[in-house]
Each structure stands twice: as C-alpha cells, then as structure tokens.
Amino acid sequence: MSITDILVIAKYRFSLIEVDAWDLWEGGGYDPNPFISPEGTGGGPPPETIYFKRVRCTIPDQAAKRISDHIDFNLVGSESVEFSATILGAGGGYFQTYQDKIWTSLDPSEVSIHFPPPDGLSSVVMTFHTHPVSLEPSPTLDALNRYPSPKDWEEAARIVNAYSANHPSLLSLKLAIRGPDKKIRIFNFSDRARYESKSVADKIAGVDLPPEVSSTASCEP
C-alpha cells in the first residue's frame, strides 16, 4: 500500500479547533498518520462533500479569491460551513486547485485539508480554508477568525516540519484564510511567530492584517 493523500481534519467547535491527520490508502480507507498523529484518535474522518472546480490562475493569491467566489455563488451552505482547498503549482506559470476539488464536511464545524502524496508536496504553495461566522453570534470571535487560528499554525507547522527536509519549498507555504467577513487574506507560514505573538486586543483591532485579495484577473474564466 502507498499513501495517496494526507487528510488533515480540523474540527472547529466554537472557539476551539481540534486537529487530527489521517492517511488515505489506495483501495480506500483511512488510518491515522503515524508521523503527524502518532496517537491517532480512532473512528476515522468525518463524511465529506467534494465539489469539482477547476481553478487556474497565474497568481496563487488570486486562486484563493477565485475559490471563494465560487463558494459564494455556487455552493449551498457557504454561510455556515467550512470549505477547503489546496493550491499547487501546475507548470507553465499556472497554479490550480489540487485535484480540481473544493472540500467541505457535512458537519458545519469542521473541514479537511487534502494534500498530494508526500513525493508531490513540493508543488504545494498554499492552503485555503474558510472561517464561517460564529455559531453563537460573537463579533469578537469573528474578528479573531480573520487570522489563522493557533491550531491552523500548529497544523501547518506539522506538515512543514515533517516534509520540508525533502521539500524545502514548503518553508514558503502560505495560508489563505477567508474570514467571517468573507475577505481573503494571505499569511506566510514564515510569519507565524509574528502573528502568534499578537494579543487578542491587537487582533480585534486588526493589527497587521494582510490586505484583502480582491482580484481574480490572473485566473482563467
């Protein structure tokens, strides 16, 4: 057997995000990733819905915006559930969605982020996921959720730490977050320490938030 996917499960429950990682094996089925989640949690990943959407852009940040626009205009439940995609270099100066897919969970409070097999991780440039508005109305939490969560940084670090020795390009990994305000912002993994050192008050005030990505001009229609 060989690994065909690494499935990272981020369970978003109110202000708490729990993360676990699984490997999808050829022939179907999941096992806890022995490196990323050595303890495993049992029970397997949650049911998922997959939407096929080919996104191709020459600027990866704009690919994240294109995915977000597609979610807004086409996908049911986009207000209240999390969506994810992984953006890869596709050759010829293009970047595209991994497997031309956007994932969501059937649960409004969790989403998976899929990656290519470990030997293909060098092509990964960005992960995209959404932070929906709070289940319980909370302007404070919505403001904090414009930023990657502590668990988002932690999970990105696990991938980078596990694979960057063989794939140094992962050190330049970017996290595209669509906040509760529906704005796309791009965070460099390398800036983790700078963002994680910010206070709650700073985040509520929006200190150091990256500019919104508002163009899809480099994307194929």
Torsion-angle region of residue 100: left (phi > 0), alpha (psi -120 to 50) or beta? left
Nearer to Zn ion, 71 or 219 (CB): 71
CA distance 79 to 37: 30
- CB under 5 A: which stretch of 1-9, 70-78, 84-92, 145-153 binds Zn ion? 145-153
Tokens of 60: 């990866």
In this chain, which of 62, 109, 127, 149 binds Zn ion, going by CB under 5 A? 149
Size of the site for Zn ion (CB under 5 A): 2
Query: Which residues does 121 contact at the CB level (< 8 Å), separation at least 6?
Result: 115, 159, 163, 166, 167, 170
Determine how β-strand 174-178 pairs with β-strand 124-130: parallel
Nearer to Zn ion, 97 or 149 (CB): 149
Tokens of 99: 């497997």
In this chain, which of 23, 61, 152, 155 binds Zn ion, going by CB under 5 A? 152
What 3-state DSSP class applies to 8? Answer: strand
Nearer to Zn ion, 5 or 152 (CB): 152
Shortest distance in whole angstroms from residue 175 CB to Zn ion: 8
Nearer to Zn ion, 6 or 219 (CB): 6
Question: Does residue 130 touch Zn ion according to CB under 5 A?
Answer: no
Nearer to Zn ion, 59 or 176 (CB): 176
* Site of tokens 């194929």: 220
The residue whose Cβ lies closest to Zn ion is 152
Shortest distance in whole angstroms from residue 152 CB to Zn ion: 4
Q: Closest Cα to residue 33, out of 5, 57, 52?
A: 5
Nearer to Zn ion, 33 or 112 (CB): 112
Question: Does residue 86 touch Zn ion according to CB under 5 A?
Answer: no
Q: Closest Cα to residue 57, out of 92, 106, 99, 24?
A: 92
- CB under 5 A: which stretch of 62-70, 89-97, 101-109, 144-152 binds Zn ion? 144-152
Amino acid sitting at position 40: G
The binding site for Zn ion (CB under 5 A) comprises: 149, 152
